[in-house]
Structure 1
Amino acid sequence: MKILKSIILSICLLFAFGIVSAEETSNGAQAVALDENVTAQDLGVQEPTVLPDSPFYFFKNLGREIQSALTFNPIRKAELREKFANEKLIELKKVSEKTRNPQAVEKATENYQKELARAKDAAEKIKDTTEQNPEVGTFLDKFIQQSTLHERILEKLETQVSTTTLAKIQEVRAQHLEKFGEVMNRLETNKEELQERLENNLEKVQGSEFKDFKNLEMLKALEGKVPEAAKEAIQQAQENALKRLKGDLESMSSENQTKFQDYIEQINGKKERQLEILDSLKTELQSNAPAIQKLLQTREKMIEQVKDEAETEACPQIAKPASTFCPNGRIIIKKDEKGCIAAFNCVIPAETNVTPGGTQACVALWDPVCGQDGKTYSNACFAKLAGTAIAHDDACKSLETGNSPQIREQIKSLVPKLTP
């Protein structure tokens, strides 16, 4: 009988431990997995059995080229080249998982890079736009969804490859973003339609309840690569993604807000860009003190991550700001000519002192401008609301150090608002 009781007790303990472990795993990690892990099936291709390091890979590529040569319709050819790019990216992913050999990974990277160029050339041969031909719209929809998945794979690869091949992956990722922006801009010439198409297709891509955070990061990176004509559409898509993320956070339970904290801390990506998004989100959540407090806690951990990353790149150590640093402003990372962190500066945008009712027409995305009044605004929209012309893009020079009389006065005026 005692043995039976012991067995039952052991089973109960194991069951309880399993529930706790599952809860811990699901606390952010599952959401991260949904937004980072991409399979061959997600890209509509088969798992590769012959990889670039195989002696038979030549025949695989030969078959692809024959298939392309026998395809004459420009849209079908562009679709085929996109399929080959999908296949070669999955091959690169498999090679990097299979071996740590830098030469093998670099060869697979070059295969993918060349295919990106061919896919871009094929897309440029499509003469129609989405307005002229519905098939172009169908191609572009699929292209946006799959390009988003490419970004996820490439971003994760940056954390997995050796330092010798990291630069090559980063180069390919930049090339992919350029292709992404140029093809969209070429095939969809209407800015409003481009914005709507981009948002609709990002929504269709599988992901977690927090995927708007990652979408914001990708859109910010894409903004710097697209032609000038497409930037307004990208910025508007960013604004809408930030609004959705704000709405989601406001309606979240405290438990899910904690899960979001874990998600941000674990998700791959450029931490400086994520820090910028976090500050934008904090600004948007002006009246939600509990949510802001959680974001400030997350920001403190993210600064530690940014600091650690910099110090692994042979940069000198730099002190981390205190936890009470810049609660009502934005933390701007200033770097020296070597790319090392020189300082963590606090910039208080000029609109911070404006009553909320006057800023509702603008979204707090960080695209700073310096007004002719000598004040830094988060973006051109806020400067326009303040009735000031823009002197130049970027923050006013006097505010970059965080030590000017203006910023000291702004900080002094905000003391009653500071979050403890």
Structure 2
Amino acid sequence: MVFVFVISATFVVAQEESVSTLDTGIAVVEQMEITTQDLGIEDPGMLPTSRFYFLKDLNRTFKRVFTFNSVKKAELELDIANEQAAEIQRMEEITPERTDAIAKAVTNYQENVDKLKNRLDAMKETSQNPNVDKLMEKLTDRSIKHQQLFDELKQKFEDRLELKQQFGKMQDKINEAVAKIPEKFDNPEVFKERIKKAIEARPDGSFKELRSMEIVDRIMEKMPADRRDKLGEIKDDFMKKLEDRMGQMSEDQRKEFLRPEILEKLPGDPEVRMRIMEEMKTRVSSPDIQKEIIEAKEGILKERIEKGEIKKEAVEKLINETRDLIAKAESDLANAQSDLKQIAEKMLGIAKARIAEAEKALGDNKIGEAFGHATAASAAARSALRPESFLNRPLYIDPTIRQAIPASAPAGILPPPQTAPTTGTTTITVKCGDGICDLIEKEKGFCAIDCK
């Protein structure tokens, strides 16, 4: 594991890229880079840049021919994919200019993960078989590390759009393979524990919880909707841990921790990060932390708009994905428990209102504003799919959702009710839905009277 530290004083001019440690006023950004050793490979050996690399591929072909057990066949494909990931990581270190060879290696990895998925589909055993259980443990561990590695590679090849997109496709491929585990081999609870164990085994860092939520979120995207709940619990746990840690910081430390220019530079997907922050603002107990999260999210959005990094096509895709989430949440309402139905309906109302605003802004070619609305809509729709998550967290929310919380909720779930005007605050017409309004909500009149 390689630690990269960026250190500078807190009083430097804004043009300097500075961060500070959370306990001394000096900012530190830790980027815990995946190494080949983390992948279990001391030396990747011959690389695709070698003219003799075909011999390595030939050796892999021989191994495939002479491997007969179905579990061993799947494990072989996983091992080959892991070797290929290590080769790509090493090429980035020593020959980053050979983007042609790296692109070819990326294609080989994707093709091999397809072979892995086919092998998993062909397997008949479940994780009750010790050999299958061991394979699932290995697949989970490798997939988490591959995701982190590809996030780092996307960042390092930021100016190579096509290659960056290919790394994103690699993440999709390995997550599709991992999604086979709860589909065929594990029950949801066992799978949840596998993922949790693999993530928690990663070294601690200042942004571990945030990065972990992003990884879980991407895995959930590849799973059937009815199997996502348990992974959502992991996400909730990391959200609570992050809130608790932020609660121990001073206000200045939190602001430094949430500086948009730092969050923007972290490996990972800023768009997923913004959506998670949108979800967090409805689940943290401190109004101050809520406000700081909103400001950080808006700062990231502003930076991406200024850099021209938010494209119309990406907004259209997010809107379509959110409409699918809304449709799924609506279909789930019929079977929802009465004490959760009102929460889901409320969050659906927010999602629909914000997606309508997103489409309007997109039609006016206000790409950044459209993305902000679509991100908020996506977060609300996801909350509508998991209304029970509101019962496990202290919330500062508008009265409509507060009234929907069942009276039997455990003591301490909710903070004391906020003092607010009674007119217009207890009906479904309250729009913002969380009691804390961001700038877009205020400008567009989406705020309840009791919003901060």
Q: CA deviation at 1:150?
A: 0.7
Tell me which of 318, 327, 334 is aligned to 2:358.
334
Any gaps of 5 or more consecutive residues in structure 1? 1-17, 316-328, 365-371, 380-400
Q: Does 1:353 align with 2:351?
A: no
Distance 2:114 2:61 in 1: 14
Deviations 1:62-107 (A, max 9, x none): 1222233333333333222212111101212233441334422221
Name the CA shift for 1:205/1:378 in 2 (closer, same or farther; >3 Å): farther
Residues 235 and 21 from structure 1, CA distance in 2 versus in 1: closer, same or farther, beyond 3 angstroms? closer
2:110 maps to: 113
2:69 paired with 1:73? yes
Deviations 1:142-172 (A, max 9, x none): 2112101111111222233312333333333
TM-score (norm 2): 0.65
Q: For 1:324-361, what per-residue CA distance to the aligned partner results, in whole angstroms no more than 9, with x for missing partners?
A: xxxxx999893638994353447797952348696596
Counterpart in 1 of 2:277? Answer: 278
Opposite residue 125 of structure 2, the aligned amino acid is D
Tell whether the 8 Å contact from 1:144 to 1:202 is kept in structure 2 after alignment. Answer: no
Judged with a 3 Å threshold, the aligned counterparts in structure 2 of structure 1 residues 51 and 225 are, in CA distance, closer, same or farther, namely: same
Counterpart AA for 2:358: K
The Cα of 1:40 is off from its aligned counterpart by 0.7
Amino acid at match of 1:266: K
Compute the displacement of 1:222 (Å): 1.9
Decide whether the 8 Å contact of 1:32 with 1:266 is kept in 2: no
CA 378–151 in structure 1, closer or farther in 2 if over 3 Å, else same: farther
Question: Equivalents in 1 of 2:154, 2:239: separation in Å?
Answer: 26
The residue matched to 1:33 in structure 2 has which SS? Answer: strand
Amino acid at match of 1:352: D
Indicate the SS of the match to 1:202: helix
**Identity percentage of aligned residues:** 22
Aligned counterpart, 1:168 = 166
Match of 1:201 among 174, 192, 198: 198
Given that 1:78 and 1:122 are in contact with CA atoms closer than 8 Å, whether structure 2 keeps it comes out as: yes
Residue 186 in structure 1 maps to residue 184 in structure 2:
yes
Q: For this pair of structures, how many residues does the alignment match?
A: 350
Q: Distance in 2 between matches of 1:237 and 1:51?
A: 37
Tell me by how many angstroms 1:253 deviates.
Answer: 4.9
Distance in 2 between the 1:219 and 1:19 partners? 27
Is the CA contact (8 Å cut-off) linking 1:246 and 1:284 kept in structure 2? no
Deviations 1:170-196 (A, max 9, x none): 3332222222212343221x2222223
Tell me if structure 2 keeps the 8 A contact 1:45–1:83: no
The verdict on how the C-alpha distance between 1:359 and 1:314 changes in structure 2, with shifts beyond 3 A counting, is: closer
Per the alignment, residue 84 of structure 2 pairs with: 88
1:134 equivalent in alignment to 2:170: no
Q: Give the superposition deviation at 1:249.
A: 2.1
Please give the secondary structure, in 2, of the residue aligned with 1:41: coil
Give the Cα–Cα distance (whole angstroms) in 1 for the partners of residues 100 and 46 of structure 2. Answer: 17
Is 1:310–1:340's contact at 8 Å kept on the other side of the alignment? no
Looking at CA atoms only, which structure, 1 or 2, has the larger radius of gyration? 1
Instruction: Decide whether the 8 Å contact of 1:81 with 1:118 is kept in 2.
Output: yes
Matched, 1:158 2:154: yes
The question of whether the paired residues in 2 share the 8 Å contact of 1:282 and 1:292 is answered with yes
CA distance in 1, matches of 2:173, 2:449: 46
Gaps of 5+ in 2: 11-17, 314-349, 385-396, 415-426, 435-439
**Partner SS state of residue 413, structure 1:** coil
**Aligned equivalents of 2:38, 2:181: Cα separation in 1:** 21
CA distance in 2, matches of 1:87, 1:153: 13
Report the equivalent of 1:413. 449
Query: Cα–Cα, structure 1 residues 106 and 77, in superposed 2: closer, same or farther, change >3 Å?
Result: same
